[in-house]
Structure 1
Amino acid sequence: MSQRNDAALEFLLTRRSRPSKTLVAPAPNREQLMPLLTAAARSPDHGKLEPWRFIVLEKSAMPRLSELTAAAGQRLGKSPEEITKARLQFDQGELAVVVVEIQKYSAKVPAIEQSYSAGAVCLALLNAALASGWGANWLSGWMSHDPEFCKDALDLAGNERIAGIIHVATEGSKPPERPRPDIDTITTWMNE
């Protein structure tokens, strides 16, 4: 058994995402963001494929993403309320990291495992941001599943898609704790 890390365990047992609407300036600068990206890139990666990459959306990029979200919403027939809600993450965003999943051919690593790795990167980035004292939230939204938006907004290739948009900035207000899963009801023990 490895050496126990009580501080890390306590962090994981009490971690809480911060709603993106509560995140305010300042956001991390490039130097402050690099250790968070480095931590995220240490996620499990079967076959060492690196089936993900990062796109950092700085404050000045947010208005363009908001406008492209509105255009995508109109094209897709979304309601004005759906469009307004989707735009908020960019209208209010200080900084966000788009984790881009890259599906790579592998005879040994199925596509689903590459998706799991990209999801692990999202969670690792979120947790690294929180552990560093930033507020952070993992979002996506209907526009991040629209290939035309992904191409227009982020120049994603055909084998790429958005795994998550991790917003990182200063915590404006601490959210209340929310109900958590009852571990006994979702756990099955097998001994045979």
Structure 2
Amino acid sequence: MKKWLIPLIYIAIMAAAFAYREQISLLLDHPPSPLMMLVLAALLALFPVIPYKLVIAAIGMLYGPWAGALITVTGSTLSGIILYAAGAVWYRNDAASLVERYPAMRRFTSYVARHPFESVLLYRLLPVVPQWVINLYAGIAAIPFRLYLSASVIGKLPGIFVYAFLGSSLFSHPLLAAEILGFYLLFVAAAVWGYKRRSARRTG
């Protein structure tokens, strides 16, 4: 059942947006300033009270795919830096003692330490992994900040652009939006498959 959960969530979000398209369209007449939306995007990434993919789509609807993607990648990156710092400063010692208790966590942490860039990159691509968890874990695991930041931005960009494009084109080109989403999910599945094969060769 879990393998079908994520596509069902995407379909439900798109259906809800389409059902309320008239109410949502009213927002387009008076969008907030980009700076205010940037602050809001950072806060909603820091405190994920609603699915962030819906936030990206809404911002893409208001500002278009390029500006919407720029606003959300900047806002989410700012919130990520805050959580990375929190993990590095406040939680590293407690997490280290917790990791030592569980062999599986030790193996995972050891692998991430050997391959930090590709690990952060992959988990940024995965739509099922909460982004705040990645931010905290990167700080706790002492992943070098430059590697964390570059892998995070590169890993975020495909998904953020896709959802910003979905928001900007869902009403005008719904079939194209569905095709773009389908290609993105196939891309993510291929990335996961390649990562698992590479990991198996290294540990085999």
TM-score band by shorter chain is: under 0.3
Structure with bigger helix share is: 2
Structure with bigger strand share is: 1
Normalising by structure 1, report the TM-score: 0.26
Normalising by structure 2, report the TM-score: 0.25
